[in-house]
Structure 1
Amino acid sequence: MRWGVIIVLGLGLIAYGVYKLNYPTYSWRQKLTLVVETPEGVRTGSAVGQVTHWFHPAIPVDAGSRNSSLRGEAVVVDLGDGRYLFALLDESPKKLKAAFADRLPEFTYGLNDLKRFFRAVERLRGAAAPVPFAALPRLVTFGDISDPTSVRLVDPDDLAAVFGEGYALREVTLEITDAPVTSGVVEGVLGWLGEYPEPGLCPPTGQTTDIPFCRRVHHGDFSRRPR
């Protein structure tokens, strides 16, 4: 009886190992840091998020064979006088590809190429590199921090157009890290923020054109927590 149990357990472990070999999970934490020049000096903000990708059988056959999740919150830079700059959450690998172009394989959507890319990212733990502004997630601010409908898009190359003379984004870096996922910073600034997922920052207008920007930004762009 005991040997039967051992054999069953052994076969189960082998089956699980074969499954994980074919359908692995990849996960890493990445820290995005923004350095902003202001008339009162340099202000910085950073946030650590956790990215997870896992592969699974395509059941039904027309279903995808990969899922991904992002946990964390937007980068917040306190510019003083009640004004803030936010770098929104973004699941795209665009930042990774741009920052670590010389250390990562080509990114394609073939399953084997994706696994190779994700393995390479995991091996970058402890590495940091500058991020070109063109690869950044959306930057936003609020005309009134208490009013979500006052959200505005910010051009990373022209912060002065929104904040005034003397404001400029000087540097952005991305680091693959073991640091804990950032928590509570965004919620401390945006008291109205709801739980992910949430709709846009303003009600639907019923329009199919001229959709306001506040409909294109969601609560989940600022914070995502385990559900």
Structure 2
Amino acid sequence: MKWLGVLLAVAVAVIVIYKVNYPSYSYRYRLQVSIAVDEKIYTGSSVIEVVWDCGPKIAGLGRCAPSLGGPATLIDLGAHGVIVATLRSGENISPTPDGAIDAVWLCASAFGYRSTNEELPALPHLTGRRNLSVSNLPRLVWFVNPADMKSAQKVTFLNVASVFDPTAHFTEAFVEITRDPIVVDIPNKLPWFSELRRLQKEGKGTLSKSGQFQLVYNMFVGENS
């Protein structure tokens, strides 16, 4: 029994040392977006998890890399199709030409953080809710036909009336820190998603929208889900 206690103490010490040298920081937030069309308000929300995994705290090597869990936020507009606030912008350049922000940065930025290495330990302790500003908004993709990924069109919070519907305008967009469970229901709402993910994991299935973005599976479901 004595040796068992010693082994347990050693195991705990190893875990503590590992976590100190290879820290991980995570937090969850709910993204909620509402749009009014013909005086009717449609709302979508989803719980997103941001995880930062950091390397050893050795001079020059302590870099941290982010990953995402959970689904994009989908607003079901009935006969008008769906609008998705995606997790990723679908572009390979940063900042994006239209200012679309990835879900990694969206919530932290709303709370005034840039997600630098020095700020990461504070992020799991965030509380409350923040409205999104015009300079901190996700990529919006409108699927005229949710069953056809080729029907995708880019819209923004500012041009939705001219691109989507003259009566359309966004009424609310906010993030809120939460511990709610993650529910991944995108495959049920976008029937082509599972096949797109399978093909792209095999190195196939790239779909580009000329002058807009590429449709990539992790725009809709985070890589940790």
Gap runs ≥5 in structure 2: 89-101
Q: How far has the Cα of 1:95 moved from its partner?
A: 1.6
Q: Give the counterpart letter for 1:168 in structure 2.
A: H
* 8 Å Cα contact 2:68/2:224 also seen in 1: no
Find the aligned partners of 1:201 and 1:135 in 2 and give their Cα distance: 32
* Counterpart for residue 98 of structure 1: 109
Greater shift, 23-32 or 5-14, is seen at 5-14
Confirm or deny: 8 A CA contact 1:201 1:215 kept in the other structure: no
Q: Deviations over 1:162-205 (max 9, x none)?
A: 22111011221001101111321x22221111264753996568
On the 8 A contact 2:207/2:215 being kept in 1, the answer is no
- State the Cα deviation string for residues 34-54 of structure 1 (Å, max 9, x = none): 011111411111010112122
Inter-CA distance 25–213: structure 2 relative to 1 (3 Å threshold): same
Shift of 1:160: 0.9
Q: Which has the larger radius of gyration?
A: 1
Query: What is the alpha-carbon distance in structure 2 between the residues aligned to residue 136 and residue 198 of structure 1?
Result: 29
1:164 paired to 2:162? no
The two structures, once aligned, show a CA RMSD in angstroms of 3.1
Aligned-pair CA distance for 1:226: 4.6
* Counterparts of 2:12 and 2:23, CA distance in 1: 15
CA contact (8 A) 1:49 1:182 kept: no
Aligned partner of 1:35 in structure 2 is: 34
- The answer for the alignment partner of 2:126 in structure 1 is 124
Q: Which residue of structure 2 aligns with residue 142 of structure 1?
A: 143
Structure 1 match to 2:86: 88
Deviations 1:83-123 (A, max 9, x none): 1111001355432343111xx4x543xx4x1xxx2322211
TM-score where L is the length of structure 2: 0.78
- Partner-residue secondary structure (3-state), 1:223: coil
Q: Is the 8 A contact 1:141 1:151 kept in 2?
A: yes
Distance in 2, matches of 1:28 and 1:136, equals 19
Query: Percent identity between the aligned chains?
Result: 26
CA contact (8 A) 1:198 1:220 kept: no
Unaligned runs of 5+ in 1: 206-210
- Counting only pairs closer than 5 Å after superposition, residues 29-68 of structure 1 correspond to structure 2 as 29-57=28-56, 65-68=63-66
Q: Which whole-Å CA distance do the structure 1 matches of 2:68 and 2:137 have between them?
A: 16
Q: Relative to 1, partners in 2 of residues 1:154 and 1:21: Cα closer, same or farther, differing over 3 Å? A: same
TM-score (norm 1): 0.78
Residue 15 of structure 1 aligns with which residue? 14
> The residue matched to 1:175 in structure 2 has which SS?
strand
Secondary structure of the residue aligned to 1:133 is coil
Q: Structure 1 residues 158-167 or 64-73, which shifts more? A: 64-73
Counterpart of 1:25 in structure 2 is: 24
Report the AA paired with residue 187 of structure 2. E
Partners of 2:210 and 2:122 in 1: how far apart?
A: 39
Cα pair distance change 1:19/1:190, threshold 3 Å: same
Count of aligned positions: 209
Pairs within 5 Å for 1:168-207? 168-184=169-185, 186-194=186-194, 196=197, 199=200, 203=206
- Cα distance per residue 1:128-177 (max 9 Å; x no partner): 11011321221001233222122111111121122211101122100110
